[in-house]
Structure 1
């Protein structure tokens, strides 16, 4: 696709999107935000899982503070550039794994936390660094974080701007898994491969149901479950799953 600030590779149904500005800890500038949005919004057919990670020693240090165009109008930057990027993550057609290979700070932390599954190295950390420069957390952080770790921890994390280790983040429920650094790459590959071979339509429905659950009452959620389950029950993957179960063999899902 001809990207400059990210690397985008596809193999075995897994698209790996690597933030690639290691000299500045993969800080987000306007071009990178646009390229992330484009890559996730125009996935080639055959992609059934996305891995979002960073080049070098960190995942993402957040907003590039040397990008004067963003600082000139923060509200417009958030609405016009960050919101499309975050929606490209949360509304992606396939599951997104954030493979956090080091520090994830500010908007970079919230970009990672917008993914469906977050796997981090034990040496990684998450920091809401906004108050250090007189700002509030953005890029969805004030929505995502209190829903995963509760108001008290979210408030402390944001007011004090102190790093949360990967182990803490796992214990608090902010991420799925903290993995020893030596096992990190293999763990991410294994999880991505499993999702790429799974029932893609069912994954999409799970993500839709969970996204709606915080705003729905029980009756609305039961109705949504019934509708989504009806769709899943008409899929080729459901037929294959039941057939494989009866034949006592692994299912060969096609994502249809």
Structure 2
């Protein structure tokens, strides 16, 4: 990876890695992050995606120094970034069909929390903190944060974090279900990569279908009969894959399956 980039992309052995090198989101950082995530979403060979933040913090949201300058120079342009950058970044994450693992080494605040919650599995350092921050500077949330918080925590907890600006630590985030796993501060990146590599070597088509099912169930847009019908369709599609046939044979032979993603 190039050290002069603020957000980087690389892909190897079925794993696409996107890494933020700086925790505050300037225009440059947002543009590079969006480009990297779109590469991940458009990849036809990635079987999992790993999203990592910087060493000091995952992402603390908008760079307020840059924001203050724009407010002074062209206030009418200060928040066009929501349409130009934040919304597209969240949608790029949503468009990734394979599993997305998020490694959180420090604070995930504001839009950074929204980005983290858009992943599927979150591995957090014990030192990490999580907060919304928006009302503290007189703004409502962006980056799909309210949407994700309500689905993760329920309305009451989401309202607490949004209105009171409650900041929680990693262990509390684990209790509430905001993160999947909490590890020692020096192990978060290694553990996140380990999980992502495991997913990248798994039954990719089954993972894609599972994400589709969970998203549909979480949205509440479908009634049970519709969900059951979709499950049946997905099972019919997966039932003729090489991964399914190979895994069944491996089970009968009492050995671990090897998945090719097909």
Partner of 2:29 in structure 1? 32
Q: Counterparts of 1:31 and 1:46 in 2: how far apart (Å)? A: 27
**Which segment is superposed worse, 208-217 or 197-206?**
208-217
SS in 1 for 2:24: coil
- 1:109-124 equivalent positions in 2, closer than 5 A: 109-124=113-128
Q: Tell me, which stretches of 5 or more residues in structure 2 are unaligned?
A: none
How far off its partner does 1:31 sit? 2.8
Q: Tell me, which stretches of 5 or more residues in structure 1 are unaligned?
A: none
Is residue 52–residue 189 contact of structure 2 (8 Å, CA) maintained in 1? no
Q: Counterparts of 2:88 and 2:159 in 1: how far apart (Å)? A: 26
Q: Counterparts of 1:87 and 1:125 in 2: how far apart (Å)? A: 24
Q: Deviations over 1:45-97 (max 9, x none)?
A: 43211111112311111012214289644664223322221111122132111
How far off its partner does 1:195 sit? 0.2
Q: What do you get for the CA RMSD once the two structures are aligned?
A: 2.1
Q: Counterparts of 1:155 and 1:111 in 2: how far apart (Å)? A: 19
Partner of 1:252 in structure 2? 258
Is residue 199–residue 253 contact of structure 1 (8 Å, CA) maintained in 2? yes
Match of 1:138 among 136, 142, 148: 142
Q: TM-score normalised to the size of structure 2?
A: 0.88
SS in 1 for 2:258: coil
Q: Counterparts of 1:177 and 1:74 in 2: how far apart (Å)? A: 36
Q: Across the two proteins, how many residue pairs are aligned to each other?
A: 252
Is residue 53–residue 59 contact of structure 1 (8 Å, CA) maintained in 2? yes
Q: TM-score normalised to the size of structure 1?
A: 0.90
Q: Counterparts of 2:36 and 2:186 in 1: how far apart (Å)? A: 29
How far off its partner does 1:8 sit? 2.1
Is residue 130–residue 169 contact of structure 2 (8 Å, CA) maintained in 1? yes
- 1:202-217 equivalent positions in 2, closer than 5 A: 202-213=206-217, 214-217=220-223
Partner of 1:47 in structure 2? 46
SS in 2 for 1:88: helix
**Which segment is superposed worse, 184-193 or 213-222?**
184-193
- 1:3-22 equivalent positions in 2, closer than 5 A: 4-21=5-22
Q: Counterparts of 2:194 and 2:184 in 1: how far apart (Å)? A: 15
CA 1:255–1:143: 2 relative to 1, 3 Å: same
Partner of 1:236 in structure 2? 242
Please list every run of at least 4 consecutive aligned residues from structure 1 whose deviation after the TM superposition is greater than 6 angstroms: none
Q: Counterparts of 1:14 and 1:223 in 2: how far apart (Å)? A: 32
Is residue 99–residue 119 contact of structure 1 (8 Å, CA) maintained in 2? yes
Is residue 90–residue 116 contact of structure 1 (8 Å, CA) maintained in 2? no
